[in-house]
Copies of this chain bind each other. A is one copy, B any other.
Amino acid sequence: MKKVDFFMLLLCLIAASFLVSADPPTCPADLGGKCSDSDDWQGDFFPEIPKIKYEGPASKNPLAYRWYNAEEEILGKKMKDWFRFSVAFWHTFRGTGGDPFGAATKYWPWEDGTNSVSMAKRRMRANFEFLKKLGVDWWCFHDRDIAPDGTTLEESNKNLDEVIELAKELQKGSKIRPLWGTAQLFLHPRYMHGGATSSEVGVYAYAAAQVKKAMEVTHYLGGENYVFWGGREGYQTLLNTDMGRELDHLARFFEAAVAYKKKIGFKGTLLIEPKPQEPTKHQYDWDAATAANFLRKYGLIDEFKLNIECNHATLSGHTCHHELETARLNGLLGNIDANTGDAQTGWDTDQFLTDVGEATMVMMSVIKNGGIAPGGFNFDAKLRRESTDVEDLFIAHISGMDTMARGLRNAVKILEEGSLNELVRKRYSTWDSELGKQIEEGKADFEYLEKKAKEFGEPKVSSAKQELAEMIFQSAM
The answer to whether the Cβ of A334 comes within 8 Å of any Cβ in the partner chain is: no
CB contacts (< 8 Å) of A151 on chain B: these are 21-23
CB contacts (< 8 Å) of A472 on chain B: these are 62
Checking B155, B188, B201 against A431 with a beta-carbon cut-off of 8 angstroms, the contacting residue is B201
Q: How far is the CA of A315 from the CA of B237 in the complex (A)?
A: 18
- Number of A interface residues, CB 8 Å? 197
Q: Is the CB of A238 within 8 A of B101?
A: no
Q: Is the CB of A361 within 8 A of B13?
A: no
CB contacts (< 8 Å) of A26 on chain B: these are 460
Q: A6-B113, A202-B430, A440-B252 in contact; A347/B278 too (CB < 8 A)?
A: yes
Contact with B along A429-447 (1 / 0, CB 8 A): 0110101100110101111
Q: Is the CB of B11 within 8 A of A205?
A: no
CB contacts (< 8 Å) of A307 on chain B: these are none
The answer to whether the Cβ of A302 comes within 8 Å of any Cβ in the partner chain is: no
Q: A357-B355, A445-B256, A471-B354 in contact; A192/B105 too (CB < 8 A)?
A: yes
- Which A residues between 240 and 274 are near B, CB-CB below 8 angstroms? 240-245, 247-249, 252, 255-257, 259-260
- A308 to chain B minimum Cβ distance, whole angstroms, is 14
Q: A200-B462, A240-B465 in contact; A471/B399 too (CB < 8 A)?
A: yes
Checking B37, B144, B279 against A99 with a beta-carbon cut-off of 8 angstroms, the contacting residue is B279
Q: How far is the CA of A156 from the CA of B282 in the complex (A)?
A: 41
Q: Is the CB of A459 within 8 A of B243?
A: no
Q: A22-B7, A446-B208, A452-B205 in contact; A462/B15 too (CB < 8 A)?
A: no
Q: Is the CB of B453 within 8 A of A208?
A: yes
Q: A344-B314, A392-B467 in contact; A205/B278 too (CB < 8 A)?
A: no
- Which A residues between 77 and 133 are near B, CB-CB below 8 angstroms? 94, 96-105, 107, 111-115, 119
Q: How far is the CA of A477 from the CA of B103 in the complex (A)?
A: 35
Q: How far is the CA of A297 from the CA of B294 in the complex (A)?
A: 11
CB contacts (< 8 Å) of A281 on chain B: these are 342, 344-345
Centre residue among A20, A236, A244, A322 by max chain B CB count within 10 A: A20
**Surface stretch bound by B, among A46-54, A169-177, A219-227, A382-390:** A382-390
- A136 to chain B minimum Cβ distance, whole angstroms, is 17
- A106 to chain B minimum Cβ distance, whole angstroms, is 9
CB contacts (< 8 Å) of A231 on chain B: these are 101
Q: How far is the CA of A105 from the CA of B444 in the complex (A)?
A: 29
Q: A200-B460, A293-B290 in contact; A446/B211 too (CB < 8 A)?
A: yes
- A254 to chain B minimum Cβ distance, whole angstroms, is 11
Q: A102-B189, A446-B208 in contact; A466/B386 too (CB < 8 A)?
A: yes
Q: How far is the CA of A171 from the CA of B12 in the complex (A)?
A: 30
**Surface stretch bound by B, among A68-76, A160-168, A370-378, A420-428:** A420-428
Q: Is the CB of B22 within 8 A of A354?
A: no
CB contacts (< 8 Å) of A454 on chain B: these are 152-154, 209
| A144 to chain B: closest residue by CB | B20
CB contacts (< 8 Å) of A245 on chain B: these are 428, 431
Q: How far is the CA of A247 from the CA of B289 in the complex (A)?
A: 13
- Which A residues between 273 and 313 are near B, CB-CB below 8 angstroms? 276-279, 281-282, 286-287, 289-290, 292-294, 296-297
CB contacts (< 8 Å) of A25 on chain B: these are 10, 189
Q: How far is the CA of A60 from the CA of B403 in the complex (A)?
A: 25
Q: Is the CB of A102 within 8 A of B279?
A: yes
CB contacts (< 8 Å) of A462 on chain B: these are 29, 199-200, 388
Q: Is the CB of B352 within 8 A of A467?
A: yes
Report the 5 A-B pairs with minimum CB-CB distance, sorted nearest first: A346-B346, A9-B113, A16-B115, A15-B15, A202-B459
| 16 A-B pairs in the complex with CB atoms less than 8 angstroms apart | A13-B119, A21-B150, A22-B190, A102-B191, A104-B189, A152-B458, A193-B386, A209-B453, A212-B449, A240-B464, A278-B347, A289-B294, A345-B346, A354-B473, A355-B357, A399-B471
